[in-house]
Amino acid sequence: MASENISAKPENEIVSTRIINFPKELVYSAWTEPKHLKNWWGPKGFTNTFNEFDLRPGGKWSFIMHGPDKGNYANECEFLKVEKPDFLSWKRFSKPLFQVAVSFEKVSDNQTKIVFKMIFDTPEECNKLKPYVVDKNEENFDKLETELSKMI
């Protein structure tokens, strides 16, 4: 399975999983096409400005997340693996530093299981974000489902 390509110790990972009622290819498109990704990426209330999105190993993803109340958050990432339509991974060069590994598994023709892993270098770094990130990842999945419903 593709998600085995990037592994870490469980204490270094934050894993969010959701089964959504959309076909795998459509879900993959929502993650890999900037015109869709910019609409849903980030927690509730956040918007995005994408500067660069070069979807290939070694390609850059540069964007700014705009907070709902205040603040702009620059994000610089590099894609590590792109395995259409099964798997994506990237490394962040902006703090907080971590890698992301996302797998897409077909459950049925109209259901896809997403496994989203945030992989940190140390348990300490992981534990700093864990209290905040778990709920924010769920908000991100909610926004993804809204975007997918518009893509049908």
CATH number at residue 21: 3.30.530.20
Percent of the chain at pLDDT > 70 equals 95
> Does the pLDDT at position 66 exceed 70?
yes
pTM above 0.85, yes or no: yes
Enter the tokens of residue 104: 């897409």
- CB distance 18 to 114 below 8 Å: yes
Could you list the residue range(s) of the whole structural domain that residue 98 is in?
2-151
Q: Is 102 exposed, middle or buried (0-12, 13-18, 19+ CB in 10 A)?
A: buried
Q: What is the pLDDT of residues 107-124, one digit of tens each?
A: 999 999 999 999 999 999
> Does the pLDDT at position 13 exceed 90?
yes
What is the tally of structural domains in the chain? 1
Going 94 to 52 to 132 to 23, the CA torsion angle's sign is: negative
Q: Where are the beta strands (DSSP E) in the chain?
A: 13-20, 47-53, 60-66, 72-83, 87-92, 99-108, 111-119
